[in-house]
Amino acid sequence: MRTTLVSAGLASLVALAGASACGGNVVIDGSPGGAEGSGGAGVTSSAGPQSSSASVGPQSSSASGADPVDAQLASCGSFCALFDRACPENGCREACAELLSAPRPCNALTAPYFDCMSTGIQIASTTSCQQIARWLDPLFECLGSSASACETSFKEVCSEAFEAHRACQLNGAP
pLDDT 10s digit of each residue in the chain, 174 long?
A: 333 322 343 344 334 433 443 344 444 544 444 433 333 333 333 333 333 333 333 333 344 456 778 899 999 999 999 999 999 999 999 999 999 998 888 999 999 999 999 998 899 999 999 999 999 999 999 999 888 888 888 888 899 999 999 999 998 765
> What is the predicted pLDDT for the residue at 146?
86
- Give the whole-angstrom CA distance, residue 71 versus residue 112: 10
> What is the predicted pLDDT for the residue at 153?
86
Phi, psi of 104 (to 5 degrees): -125, 140
* Cα pseudo-dihedral 140, 137, 128, 121, rounded to 10: 30
> What is the predicted pLDDT for the residue at 36?
34
- Give the whole-angstrom CA distance, residue 165 versus residue 174: 8
> What is the predicted pLDDT for the residue at 1?
36
SS3 158: coil
Q: Rounded to the nearest 10 degrees, what angle do helices 92-101 and 68-84 cross at? A: 160
> What is the predicted pLDDT for the residue at 138?
94
Q: Per the confidence metrics, is the pTM higher than 0.75?
A: no
